[in-house]
Structures are given as structure tokens and as C-alpha cells.
Structure 1
Amino acid sequence: MENETGAPRRRWRRKSLLIPAVLLTVAVIAAAVTTLILRTIEPSSGAQSVPPFTGLKYPTGVAVDGAGTVYVADELRGRVVTLAAGSSAQTVLPFTGLIGPDGVAVDGAGNVYVTDMGDRVVKLAAGSSTQTELRFHGLNQTTGIAVDRAGNVYVADARNNRVVKLAAGSR
């Protein structure tokens, strides 16, 4: 194409300058974003530590109460152990008949809840040595448990692709 004077138009010059400028801008932005995403995050000032639990064999669930006591579901030993804050001596809780406990939770009153591979949910009331089985129905591979402030118990029911809630005070 020609302009009004009959000379060829010079649009190609603008395009030949504009395209590299756009590509350079995109490259600079991509490099900046990549640098921000991939840069090393400074570790927190706290150091990693290993609480002094002994004899654990495939720990699968962990919970901490308001006093800092740590609770661990020890799946292959079929037990739940605790370690009080500042203590080096663990305690085995008096649950009986656990089949591969895999989830543990503790509520504000100190009641401990456990799920196991037998698709059971059991509760050990604070200060008690006798557990009670909570009446959840149709569970198929429990994988986690939580208790809210109101005392409602939530269980992850993996093979049924759902979370089940048992209202506070239900047995």
C-alpha cells in the first residue's frame, strides 16, 4: 500500500518495534513473578523439634488440647498416647479394642475422641477409664475427626465421600 505521496507505508516499522517491546515487557513481568514465587521463604524463628514420644509405630492422628497436651493415634500399636506440655513421660490412654486408630480429637472439656479402622468412633470422657462408642451409622473408612466448641463431632467418611456430624450430647 502507498501513502498520499505514493511512497510505501511504513506500518511494518511500528510493528517491528512494538512486538519486541511487548515481548520484553511480558518477559520482565514473568521473571518478576517467578522470582517472587520461587524465592526462599525465611524460616520462622522457632526450631523444629521432636516431642519425646517412644515406641510409636505409624502415628496417624495428632491433636493438642488447650493446656498443650499432645495426643497421638498410634495406628499399628492400637493405642492413643499423650504427652503433657513440658513432660518427657508419655501416657497411654485406657482405650480398649482399638483397631488401627487413625484419628484423634480432644474437646474443651478434655474428652478424647478416636476413629479407628473398624469404622468406630469412641469417646473417653475426661478422667474416665471407660470408653463409650458414639452412634455413627454407615461409616466406611474413617480418616479424621474433629470436635467444635459446642461439642458437635465431625468424622471424615472417606469411602462414602462425605463428612458426618453427630450433634453434641448424642450417644
Structure 2
Amino acid sequence: MYVVDNGNNRVQRFAPGSTSGTTVAGTTASTNALTDLKQPTAIDIDSNSNLYILDMGNTRLVDWTQNATNGTLLISDNSLNNDYDIIIMPNSSNQVYICDQDGHAIYLWTFGASTPSVTLQTVNDSQHNSLNNPTGIVLDPYGNLYVADRDNNRVVMFCVNSTVGIVVAEDNNSVPSLKSPVALAFDSDLNLYLLSIDSDQVVKLPRI
């Protein structure tokens, strides 16, 4: 298990059964050197155990290879200052989804690019037709992207190759509450799990 230790400016790995972590990225120093991280907020890992780290305090995305002592800069942009989730694009070696709260959007970035190649923001909904402070994202096995649209109290799905999202779950004074979702995950049966910070609960949504 990998843990983003935001306050200590590092990423730690916990081996199965272990209660003690090992630092695999960062030094606890808070600088912009590529040996360090500054308030990291999200990670993803590829099949070669390379770590992709959203280094929010330094407004950048970096790649740490296994056993490395420093990262490699992939994206640097001042807009990456309030972002809390990333997903490396499947079947791609150089693209990443970044969940941007301030921009109220999900961006698809190519490594080394100065701007995103795709912006996902519009939602097919008559009342709230755009994302509002999205905080978490997850992909299903078919490549559809699900977004925890926190301040609209709902989950939005962007189908493959679509830039307009559809609402797949929302709070209507639901019990349990779906208000303020901040994180999403699928199980092997494609049931969707949602973390609500309004109710401090994890809610299971049957396969959508």
C-alpha cells in the first residue's frame, strides 16, 4: 500500500502485514528540488512500479522510478495548485487525467505539454450543467471516467471519447447520504464506492 503523506512531504510504502512505512519518494524537506516533494496530494502507479506524484505545492507532476532518489519532471503549470487526484491514462505512456478543483474540471494532459489536450467540465443536466469542485476520479475497465462532483453532491460519468458528462448518482436527501463525495473506487464486480465527507461514510452503489 502506498500513502501520500502530505504533511511530511513524502510518499510511503507499507508492505503487506506491516505497520511501518518506508519512504519511497521525498525527503520530508519542503523544497522545489527534484529530490523533494512539497505537499503532495495524489499518486498513481504503473505496471512497472513507477510512481506518478501530483506535487501540488510545487505545481507539478513528477515520476519516480523504483528505488530512485529523485523525480523526473513531467508537467509544470501554476494551475496545479489545488488538485487532489490523478489517473495515468490506460494504454498510454505519456498522458494523465488531473482533477482540478479550482478549474472545476478534469484535464487530460500529455507529459511535457504546456496546456491540457482535453477539458471535461460540461454535464448534461438542466440544473447544474458543469462540474463544481470535483475532488476524485476513477476509471472503469471500459475507459469511462467517473467524477466525484463534490459541491453538486453527485457522481458524473464521462463516456469514452465524450466531453459531456451524465449524472449517474446524486443526493436527493438520500439515506445514506451522497453529499460532498470526495473519492471513488470500484470493486471487482464494478460496484462503486463513494466517500462522503458530509456523513463521514463510505457508501456502496450497486453496479451502475
Into which bin does the TM-score normalised by the smaller protein fall? 0.5 to 0.7
Distance, in Å, in 2 between the alignment partners of 1:70 and 1:133 is: 23
Give the number of aligned pairs: 128
TM-score w.r.t. length of structure 1: 0.63
Question: What pairs up with 1:1-171 in 2 under 5 angstroms?
Answer: 44=17, 48-53=21-26, 54-96=35-77, 97-110=79-92, 111-118=95-102, 119-125=104-110, 129=113, 131-137=116-122, 138-171=130-163
Instruction: Normalising by structure 2, report the TM-score.
Output: 0.53
Local SS of the residue matching 1:76 = helix
Task: State the match for 1:28 in structure 2.
Answer: none
Distance 1:90 1:115 in 2: 21
Q: Of the two structures, which has the highest relative contact order with CA contacts closer than 8 Å and spacing of 6 or more?
A: 1
Q: For the structure 1 residues 99 and 64, does the alpha-carbon distance in structure 2 shift closer, same or farther, using more than 3 Å as the test? A: same
d(CA) in 2 for partners of 1:99 and 1:76? 7
Runs of 4+ in 1 over 3 A off after TM superposition: none
Write 1 or 2 for the structure with the bigger share of helix. Answer: 1
Q: CA deviation at 1:85?
A: 2.4
Identity rate of aligned residues, in percent?
28
RMSD: 2.4
CA distance in 1, matches of 2:55, 2:21: 21
Contact 1:79 1:101 in 2 (8 A): no
CA distance in 1, matches of 2:59, 2:47: 25
Q: Would the alpha carbon gap of residues 45 and 58 (structure 1) be closer, same or farther in structure 2, given more than 3 Å must change? A: closer
In the alignment, the residues of structure 2 paired with residue 169 and residue 128 of structure 1 have an alpha-carbon distance, to the nearest angstrom, of 22
Q: Over alpha carbons, which structure has the higher Rg? A: 1
Compute the displacement of 1:79 (Å). 1.7
Q: Residues 109 and 46 of structure 1: is their aligned pair in 2 closer, same or farther, counting only changes over 3 Å?
A: farther
Question: Unaligned 5+ residue runs, structure 1?
Answer: 1-42
Instruction: For residue 57 of structure 2, give the secondary structure of its aligned residue in structure 1.
Output: helix
